[in-house]
Amino acid sequence: MKQQILIGTLLATVTFASLARAEDLGVKAQTYALDPDAAEQIKDVMRRKQSTGELDQFWKNYRNRTIDSIKNPPSLGVKSDYAVRTELRDLQFAVPEDYKDQNGRVIVRRGTVIQPLKIMPLTSGLIFIDGTDPKQVAYAVARSQAEQLKIVLTAGSPYLMRIKYRNVPWHGGMGVPFYFDQRKMIINTLQKLYGVDVNSVPAALFQQGDKLAIQFGMGASN
């Protein structure tokens, strides 16, 4: 039992680390302190831009672009296909390196095969949709109300969808949550770790027995 918990924790660590890893680009060139004259010149330029309102306008434009990119993220380019087909997968992956405890003892050896659904069953699945397609949105909302599925957009605005469906009942509360797969992090991780290719939407992923079911198109769940 302890080994299962340990491997389960390891699985979560590996999976979420791959989703949240940030690349450290490091220092690419030697840096130097500005001499006093140069620093004063830069301050003079900034003061002039502040007095003319140019600096305030720059930050306003930057803020607006940032907010707009959050509210309206660019499409991931995943095609839509309503044709129904279902794939069943035995999820497993090999541990890429030895994992040791604080005393240096190997607790999980490189090459150990992990079957995550047998250790940590899914409590909630995912349904990927194109949020600009009203048919897919309506289908995903209805299905997520009946099943434990989180709606993930590959196109469209999760912000606007949350506003539109804020008064719709959803699992004992009000408001349907929508998410967006930023930079294809979820789709790419599924492909990299398990070979699951979400190449069209709608696509629902949920556990069926000890396997992962990937159901494409607008079909009813099993």
pLDDT tens digit sequence for 49-67: 778 887 677 776 766 666 6
> Do the domain assignments include residue 23?
no
> Do the domain assignments include residue 140?
yes
SS3 of residue 81 by DSSP: coil
Q: 24-38, 74-88, 124-138 — which is least confidently predicted?
A: 24-38
**What residues contact residue 180 under an 8 Å CB cut-off, 6+ apart?**
73, 152, 153, 158
Assess whether pLDDT exceeds 80 at residue 189: yes
Q: 4-8, 29-33, 159-163, 166-170 — which is least confidently predicted?
A: 4-8
Give the burial string for 200-216 (b: 16+ CB within 10 Å, else e): bbbbbbbbbeeebbbbb
> Do the domain assignments include residue 28?
no
User: In terms of pTM, does the model score above 0.85?
Assistant: no
> Do the domain assignments include residue 34?
no
> Do the domain assignments include residue 208?
yes
> Do the domain assignments include residue 47?
no
> Do the domain assignments include residue 24?
no
> Do the domain assignments include residue 171?
yes
Confidence (pLDDT) at 175: 96
Residues 101 and 107 sit within 8 Å (Cβ to Cβ): yes
Higher pLDDT: 192 or 133? It is 133
Residue 175 DSSP one-character state: S
| 145 alpha-carbon distance from chain centroid | 21
Residue type at 10? L
Name the domain count of the chain. Answer: 1
Cβ-in-10-Å burial (0-12, 13-18, 19+) of 180 comes to buried
Mean pLDDT, residues 3-31: 42
Q: Which domain holds residue 181?
A: 79-90+118-216
